[in-house]
Chain A
Amino acid sequence: ELKVEQNPLFLSMQEGKNYTIYCNYSTTSDRLYWYRQDPGKSLESLFVLLSNGAVKQEGRLMASLDTKARLSTLHITAAVHDLSATYFCAVDVSMNSGGSNYKLTFGKGTLLTVNP
Chain B
Amino acid sequence: DAGVTQSPTHLIKTRGQQVTLRCSPISGHKSVSWYQQVLGQGPQFIFQYYEKEERGRGNFPDRFSARQFPNYSSELNVNALLLGDSALYLCASSLVRVATGELFFGEGSRLTVL
* Number of B interface residues in the complex (CB < 8 A): 26
A-contact bits for B17-59, CB 8 A (1 contact / 0 none): 0000000000000000101000011111100101000011010
| Interface residue ranges, A against B (CB under 8 Å) | 4, 31, 33, 35, 41-45, 48, 50, 88, 90, 92, 95-96, 100-109
Contact A101 B97 (CB under 8 A): yes
Task: Summarize B's interface: helix, strand, loop or mixed.
Answer: loop
Query: B residues within 8 A CB of A4?
Result: 42
Task: Summarize A's interface: helix, strand, loop or mixed.
Answer: strand
What are 21 residue pairs bridging A and B, where the CB atoms are less than 8 Å apart in the complex? A31-B99, A33-B102, A42-B106, A42-B108, A43-B43, A43-B90, A44-B105, A45-B103, A88-B43, A92-B99, A100-B97, A101-B48, A101-B55, A101-B97, A102-B99, A103-B33, A103-B56, A104-B99, A106-B43, A107-B42, A109-B42
